[in-house]
Amino acid sequence: MPSFRITRHVRHSPQQMYDLVADIERYPEFLPLCESLRVLRRQEGTNGNPVLIAEMGVGYKAIRERFTTRVGLDPQNRKIIAEYIDGPFKHLENRWGFKDSAKGGCDVEFFITYEFKSFALGLLMGKMFDKAFRKFTDAFESRANLVYGSAA
CA distances from 48 to 7, 43, 80, 87 (A): 28, 9, 14, 27
Ranges assigned E (strand) in 1-152: 3-10, 34-44, 50-60, 63-74, 79-86, 89-100, 106-116
What is the full per-residue pLDDT of the chain (152 aa) written as tens digits?
A: 788 899 999 999 999 999 999 999 999 999 988 999 999 999 998 889 999 999 999 887 777 889 999 999 999 999 999 999 998 889 999 999 999 999 899 999 999 998 888 877 676 666 776 777 777 888 999 999 999 987 55
Rg (CA), the chain: 15
Task: Provide the pLDDT for residue 19.
Answer: 97
- Cα 142 from Cα 151, distance rounded (Å): 12
Task: Provide the pLDDT for residue 126.
Answer: 65
Task: Provide the pLDDT for residue 151.
Answer: 58
Q: What CATH number is given to the structural domain containing 75?
A: 3.30.530.20
Pair 74, 96: CB distance under 8 Å: no
- Record the pTM: 0.89
Domain range for 75: 3-148
- Cα 84 from Cα 38, distance rounded (Å): 15
Residue type, 141: E
Task: Provide the pLDDT for residue 17.
Answer: 96
Overall domain count for the chain: 1
Task: Provide the pLDDT for residue 114.
Answer: 87
